[in-house]
Amino acid sequence: MMDKELIKAYRLFLKDSIRKVIDFSATDQSRGIDPPPIEKPYAKDAKLIDLIPCDQFGNMGKIALKTAIHNRESRRSYRAQPLTIEELSFLLWATQGIKQKLDDGHALRTVPSAGCRHALETYLCVLNVRGLDQGIYRYLPLEHKLLYEFTEDNLDKKISHAVLGQSYPKTAAVTFIWTAIPYRMEWRYDIAAHKVIAIDAGHVCQNLYLACEAIDAGTCAMAAYDQEEMDKLLRVDGQNEFTIYLASVGKKLK
């Protein structure tokens, strides 16, 4: 039987009642602590890959918004055709691209975020992108570049296993894996941070759905995965950074 008290407690998470119990004068922001970095730092000698800037997309992605919204659906079957770097650049820009850096702690992106905190990082499990080796990469929105993280054998099987055996990531060109760095949001909102991080992730994935439609690709969101296994696969610590959402992408099956 469903536990009514537990359900009540979890429903509270969806409400904004929490705001009434937070002492906002005691948040790290209010105490004058510097905001955490906009993007996760990386080693100086890291391998970076150039992406195509937004002003060079040309006609790519130019379809009517109404068409993209109308045609959007979750697509779990893909052609074997690779994605191009141009297409991947477009999807990354559409989901997390930075339009304007305001200062060291704030930047405006293509998606909204509560308090402009943008607590998400984007990892890619690349299987079939022309010009890229298979592996785990991370998007650097400030630089609009890809950071090569590492590779492993049987990445297709490992990603599929980490999403509880769902098979379509194996045939996808790339799987987007969004992690949260909760402190970026907690710095401003304390325990009101977590609901809005989840809401933010929804905006990001919706942009991915629409952007995919515009490049003859398809995507399917995934919230069913093994938390520990996925964090281990990404080599993130599972406490200060952990997976919250995924979406596989590939060229549409005609």
Which residues of the chain form contacts with ligand FMN (CB under 6 A)?
A: 73-74, 166, 220-224
Q: Toward ligand FMN, which CB reaches closer, 38 or 172?
A: 172
Shortest separation between residue 68's beta carbon and ligand FMN, angstroms: 13
Which of these, 200, 210, 56, lies nearest to 122 by C-alpha position? 200
**Nearest distance in Å: CB 246, ligand FMN:** 8
CB-neighbour burial class of residue 203 (10 A; exposed 0-12, middle 13-18, buried 19+): middle
Burial 167-187 (b: 16+ CB within 10 A, else e): ebbbbbbbbbbbbbbbebbbb
User: Minimum distance from CB of 206 to ligand FMN (Å)?
Assistant: 9
Q: Taking the complex as a whole, how short is the minimal distance between the CB of residue 166 and ligand FMN, in angstroms?
A: 6
Considering beta carbons, is residue 89 or 113 the nearer one to ligand FMN?
Answer: 113
Whichever of 114 and 221 has its CB closer to ligand FMN, that residue is 221
- Using an 8 Å Cβ cutoff, are 80 and 234 in contact? no
Contact 56, 89 (CB under 8 A): no
Q: Choose between 193 and 220: whose C-beta lies nearer to ligand FMN.
A: 220
Angle between helices 4-14 and 193-214 (to 10 degrees): 70
